[in-house]
């Protein structure tokens, strides 16, 4: 957290599933941008993005229930409907009528489930290489997942798995985001159910504007297959960015900020 801009506010949001910590960057606003982190991560994974995003719009970042971070889950989360419910309850306490969701990886999946089950507070959703949303996971991602949950996996192997999913980028203790995720892999026990893809019927019923950015070199799914299915969402803007891995938010922060600005300006 010390590597991020200093939050203007830290708020504890109480839901029926537990307490969620939210950090605000910028003054209160009518339609802020809400960041949803990836698996085994929390707010600091947005280190490269918060500055450029907060220049254009107030940003809230939430540490998700069921993931390592400054949260405290107190009740079981049994599936996508519960995931959307806790997030909707948290959003209701931000002081804004509607928000724009920006999620990466499993945070993108959470945003997608929210616009399916609880879209009332959502003005739009931006999904960065969302996991288990438009295409099934690959065997490579299954291997990474096993490496993150099996006890006794050597530190060097965890770092190699993180580097693999990040397109070969350095993923040791010198990189704060890698240190954060490696700690989650090593020290946090997840109890939530495995995420499930939205059905085609659910995708076709999404009522809010959607921007989907898929990483062309992602190993979590087949990007072309994911893009084809993402276009089932009415009016969705779907893009595949060649040369980027699943760690796309850290690889292209300025390009993402520019695309977010363009997308939100047309709404």
Q: Is residue 155 part of a domain?
A: no
What local confidence, expressed as pLDDT, does residue 163 receive? 58
In this prediction the pTM is 0.90
pLDDT digit string (tens) for 99-149? 999 999 999 999 999 999 999 999 999 999 999 999 988 656 655 665 555
Q: Is residue 102 part of a domain?
A: yes
Q: Is residue 13 part of a domain?
A: yes
Q: What b-and-e string marks burial along 128-147, b requiring 16 or more CB atoms within 10 Å of the CB?
A: bbbbbbbbebeeebeebbeb
pLDDT digit string (tens) for 28-84? 999 999 999 998 889 999 999 999 999 999 999 999 999 999 999 999 999 999 999
Question: CATH number for the domain including 16?
Answer: 3.40.50.1820
Work out the mean pLDDT of the chain and round it to a whole number: 89
What local confidence, expressed as pLDDT, does residue 138 receive? 63
Q: Is residue 148 part of a domain?
A: no
Q: Is residue 181 part of a domain?
A: no
Q: Is residue 259 part of a domain?
A: yes
The domain total for the chain is 1
The phi, psi pair for 9, rounded to 5°, reads -160, 145
d(CA 40, CA 185): 6
d(CA 219, CA 245): 7
Q: Is residue 158 part of a domain?
A: no
Give me the domain span that covers residue 58.
9-136+190-265
| Per-residue pLDDT at 173 exceeds 70 | no
Other C-beta atoms lying within 10 Å of the C-beta of residue 185: 25
Name 191's bridge partners.
none
pLDDT band at 184 (very low <50, low <70, confident <90, very high): confident
Other C-beta atoms lying within 10 Å of the C-beta of residue 170: 11
Q: Is residue 167 part of a domain?
A: no
């Amino acid at each position: 957290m010390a590597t991020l801009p200093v939050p203007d506010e830290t708020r504890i949001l109480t839901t029926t599933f537990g307490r969620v910590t939210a950090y605000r960057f910028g003054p209160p606003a009518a339609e802020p941008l809400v960041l949803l982190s990836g698996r085994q991560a929390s707010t600091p994974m947005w280190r490269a993005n918060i500055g450029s995003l907060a220049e254009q719009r107030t940003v809230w970042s939430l540490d998700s229930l069921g993931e390592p971070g400054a949260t405290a889950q107190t009740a079981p989360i049994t599936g996508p409907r519960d995931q959307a419910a806790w997030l909707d309850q948290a959003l209701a306490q931000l002081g804004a009528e509607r928000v724009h969701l920006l999620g990466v990886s499993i945070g993108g999946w959470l945003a997608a489930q929210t616009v399916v089950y609880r879209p009332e507070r959502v003005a739009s959703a931006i999904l960065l290489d969302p996991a288990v949303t438009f295409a099934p996971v690959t065997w490579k991602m299954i291997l990474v997942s096993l490496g993150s949950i099996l006890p006794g996996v050597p530190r060097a192997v965890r770092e190699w798995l993180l580097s693999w999913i990040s397109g070969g980028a350095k993923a040791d203790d010198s990189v704060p985001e890698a240190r954060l995720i490696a700690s989650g892999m090593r020290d946090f026990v997840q109890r939530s159910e495995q995420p499930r893809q939205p059905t085609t019927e659910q995708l076709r019923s999404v009522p809010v504007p959607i921007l989907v950015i898929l990483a062309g070199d992602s190993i979590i799914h087949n990007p072309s297959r994911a893009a084809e299915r993402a276009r089932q969402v009415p009016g969705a803007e779907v893009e595949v960015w060649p040369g980027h891995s699943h760690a796309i938010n850290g690889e292209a922060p300025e390009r993402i900020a520019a695309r977010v600005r363009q997308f939100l300006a047309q709404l």
